[in-house]
Amino acid sequence: MSQRTLVLLKPDAVSRGLIGEIVGRVERKAGWRITALELRTLDRATLETHYAEHVGRPFYEPLLEFMASGPSVAMVVEGERVIEGLRALAGPTDPIAAAPGSIRGDFGTVVRENLIHASDSEESAERELKIFFPELPR
Ligand code: GDP
Ligand code: MG
């Protein structure tokens, strides 16, 4: 079941010099391919669309501020069960609860600054890919 997913390396990952480390982990998974990759500072409108499900939550405003605070890496990854696989590689939202070996478990301590976003379902992936890479063929 080949899929594609939207991955963001958040501003903390970029400012801490972890792009290579994280991209390397994705590249080393057998058969997965990075098919688009771009460094960009995310604007408010993009972030509001992307995080629409969290409007009104106490962490929403600080999350958007953090996500706009510096460049992120946006990428498309394709391969077998890549949606589930990237969520596993990332680890759970809270980096302290995330197992060592996962990206969040190895590098994070703060829930907001948890290094990486990866789409959580096929529906989310299609929705998010349209936001970040509207030019991709569907
Ligand atoms: P994800 O799918 O694992 O990224 O988590 P969610 O979709 O639930 O939340 C989106 C992002 O909001 C997370 O990755 C965190 O950066 C942030 N976040 C989520 N829950 C909390 C929280 O309880 N506190 C804070 N400070 N940030 C949160
Ligand atoms: Mg989420």
- Helix pair angle (82-90, 19-28), 10° resolution: 140
Residue nearest to atom 16 of ligand 1 (CA): 112
Contact 10 CB / ligand 1 (< 6 Å): no
**Which residue among 114, 116, 119, 120 is best mutated to probe the pocket of ligand 1, counting the most ligand atoms within 8 A of its Cβ?**
114
The kind and range of the H/E element at 118 are strand 116-118
Our answer to whether residue 117 is catalytic in this structure is yes
Please tell me whether the interface predicted TM-score (ipTM) of this complex is above 0.95: yes
pLDDT tens profile 15-62: 999 999 999 999 999 999 999 999 999 999 999 999 999 999 999 999
Under DSSP, the state recorded for 39 is E
Report residue 19 as tokens: 């792009």
Three-state DSSP at 102 gives strand
pLDDT for res 114: 99
All domains in the chain, ordered by first residue: 2-132 (3.30.70.141)
